[in-house]
Amino acid sequence: MRKGLKELPYEMWFGQPTYRALASYKRDFFSVRGHLNLSPDFEDIRGWLVDLRRSFWLGIRARETYEDESDALQENHSDGAEDEVTPKFDYETLGGHVGYSVLISPVHGLKGKLKELIVRYDPSLSTSTAQVDSDR
């Protein structure tokens, strides 16, 4: 930890030698349930982060279930029988668990230092181009 700074629980993310190593830490963050260790500056958004993390956790589990079921269907139909139509999984939103509303809606209830956060959203734009700004 750097001198003079308070505890930074995820500081190890910044010192990883490869993207693969960093991905492993981040995957664990979203896929392992448990206490969310935050530095004091992030306590104002704890609820938002907990909900976001839970949405990703549910989506990851839904994706794994879908893939397991798809694999089982393929094994069952490997005898050449005609495949049933299986519903497709929406990988972009992890089965509908992670989307714009999960990411942005909680901003309207922020308190403390972050209550001045302004969200500019034009519904005609895709969610990837929506802007989140802070007027300071």
At 133 the pLDDT is 44
Tokens of 126: 């895709």
Query: CA-to-CA distance for 68 and 136, rounded, in angstroms?
Result: 48
Q: For the chain, what percent of residues have pLDDT higher than 70?
A: 68
Which runs of consecutive H residues, i.e. helices, occur in 1-136? 19-31, 46-76, 100-104
- Select the more confidently predicted residue: 68 or 136: 68
Residue 113 reports pLDDT greater than 80 = no
Across the range 52-75, mean pLDDT stands at 88
Question: Region 52-61: what's the mean pLDDT?
Answer: 90
Q: Are the beta carbons of 97 and 58 closer than 8 angstroms?
A: yes
Using DSSP's 3-state secondary structure scheme, residue 3 falls into: coil
User: How far is the CA of 29 from the CAs of 9, 90, 125, in angstroms?
Assistant: 11, 22, 30
| pLDDT tier for residue 86 given thresholds of 50, 70 and 90 | low
3-state secondary structure of 23: helix
Residue 34 above 50 pLDDT? yes
